Amino acid sequence: MIPETQDSPIQTNRAARSADSLPPAGGGGAAAAGRAALELAADIAQRYEIRALSGLLASARAAAGQDEITVAVLGRFKAGKSSFLNHFLGRTVLPTGVVPVTAVITEIRYGARAEARVHHRDGSDPEISLDQIGGYISEKENPENHKHAERITVELPELGRFRGLKFVDTPGLGSALAHNTRTSLDWLPNVGLALVAVSVDPPLSERDIELLKSLYHYTPKVAVLLTKADLVSERDLAEVVEYVGAELARHFPGAPRVFPYSTRPGFERFRTALEAGLMSETVEHRAREREAILARKMETLLRECGGYLALSLKSAEVVESERQAMRRQVAAEREIAAEVKTALKLVVRDAAADTRRMVGERLETHQSDVERVLLGAFETEFPKWTRSLATMLASFENWLAGALREELAELSILERGAFLEPLHRVRKQAFRELQQFRDRLSERTLRVFGVALRTTEAEIEVVEPGAPDIRVARVFDRNWELLSPVLPVWMIRSLVRGHFGRTVSYLLYQNLSRLSAQWEESINATLWDVEKEARRRLDELMSTIERLIESGTNGRAPELRADLERLEGARRSLAAGTGC
């Protein structure tokens, strides 16, 4: 079963100018059947107030509005996504580096001439030169996207062989930069063909599996890109490919294909295999591939829509005494839902109570190492500050502020997985509890009402904590720099040096404590957001069922039967159009 999707703040991509010249990807029976299915489901959801279908409807609409197939490269921070795209496309367009560089979504497609545009949130889209792209998608030059770029679009004439595809570079998952992770997760419903970049070391993580599961909600076209294949021997690479394939087969009935890749000279065969085995095949069968993507969403939408209507029809067909029994059963389910809410609240409370201790202990293990690095860097920098006491003070404060930000940001990146592990554990537990409730509800509706309400739970996505906000206080609590004109540097140099060294240690301890508090506040807020979202979903599901049972009492049985027949007809048309 394919889980329904959540509402998310996805901005529908504007059609590219170059796409106007493309032949339509669909337009035949499958496309018409898909449009009809979407319109029918939207109409039924509105008339019967089936709000539980809103997320799936939004995802289906987004997919139906695209003619190109979006080839999205996703994966963990530093998995080599941008380097892969630069190499595969044959042109260095995207910046790369040792810190997070992709701050916004970047789309690359064929165009008659090379050009790039910045699409701002205010609707403006000025053209920029290709060498200016880094100023918008580099985290260093555009921290937390303060330039308010919605996305960057790039058109290149050398991509003529890939007409009909739109390559997308996404911000990395798993860095300390929460806005990057959020941008990528919010963008997922737009995916057509997903390439999940996984480094050979380590070859596959639980987070990679979770990402793949999320992607299958939106498309049947998913592949794994095994990057940095040059780091291991041919023998070891074969073992890694075999291991990854086996792990994928354990989790997915139709396991994603695995494509090793390297950007280094001497490994061109990997690029050739990927282009021939995936990209060219997708271009050649673009209409069919797009139809398969749409059919995945539409079939799920029609099936779940039909389940809700079948429950309402059952209510319409029974006598009032049986309907009262249905109401009592739903009331009993509400009590069970309340028990689920209470259990999740206790889980979140226990996790939140332990956050500060866990974060503090993890950061404390790094204190001596970071202090040694800072003091070493200080010894290198201090001799440069020789002009006056005022120069020393200003230079030291500026240097220490920047050094602390850098070191603590690196600590956050290093420990982020451990910090967020309780959050992801709670999120998974909440998801399991919600899906188990839905499964129990389906069993009871089948046993009591004769209707199997088989609906599927969507993953709970979380807005993860942002980068630390390191603020360094003044070194001295008095304006000693006023004495600068009368105090020669040679006289105070040793005294100032010792004080600065002690200040490094003190401010490191102070800011580690602040960083612990920041992580605690952010993680706990997100934990309670998970609990709040779980409560909302339970209430929405039960309210939908209650409304549907009551709607059956208003003489709507003929209308319900007609709508169920229309849904079944739409499913047959969809299957016939896609050859399923």
**497: burial class by Cβ within 10 Å (0-12, 13-18, 19+)?**
middle
User: Which of 75-89, 153-167, 230-244, 363-377 shows the lowest mean pLDDT across its residues?
Assistant: 75-89
Beta bridge partner(s), residue 194: 72, 222
In the chain, residues under CATH classification 3.40.50.300 are 17-22+69-285
Q: Please, which pLDDT band fits residue 552 given cuts at 50, 70 and 90?
A: low
**C-beta neighbour count of 540 within 10 angstroms:** 13
Query: Which among 496, 338, 354, 495 has a CA at the least distance from the CA of 426?
Result: 354
Torsion of CA 110, 115, 118, 123, to 10 degrees: -80
In tens, the pLDDT along 335-358 reads: 999 999 999 999 999 999 999 999
State yes or no: pLDDT of 483 exceeds 50.
Answer: no
Q: Does domain 17-22+69-285 have CATH number 3.40.50.300?
A: yes
**pTM (whole model) above 0.85:** no
pLDDT score for 179 = 38
SS3 152: strand
Query: Which among 64, 60, 84 has a CA at the least distance from the CA of 72?
Result: 84
In tens, the pLDDT along 282-294 reads: 887 777 777 777 7
- Give the CA count within 13 Å in the CB-facing half-sphere of 105: 26
User: What are the backbone angles phi and psi of residue 48, rounded to the nearest 5°?
Assistant: -100, 5
Contact 213, 253 (CB under 8 A): no
- State the average pLDDT over residues 468-473: 58
Contact 211, 222 (CB under 8 A): no
Token readout for 450 is 């004769």
Residues 114-124 as b or e (16 or more Cβ within 10 Å = b): ebbbbbeeeee
Amino acid (one-letter) located at 209? I
pLDDT score for 524 = 92
* Residue entry with tokens 């401010």: 507
Could you tell me which residue, 83 or 456, shows the higher pLDDT?
83
In tens, the pLDDT along 154-194 reads: 899 988 888 888 888 876 544 333 333 444 555 666 677 88
Spatial separation of the C-alpha atoms in residues 499 and 381, rounded to whole Å: 15
User: Which of 209-213, 265-269, 437-441, 538-542 shows the lowest mean pLDDT across its residues?
Assistant: 209-213
Q: What average pLDDT does the structure give for the chain?
A: 78
Q: Please, which pLDDT band fits residue 469 given cuts at 50, 70 and 90?
A: low
pLDDT score for 462 = 65
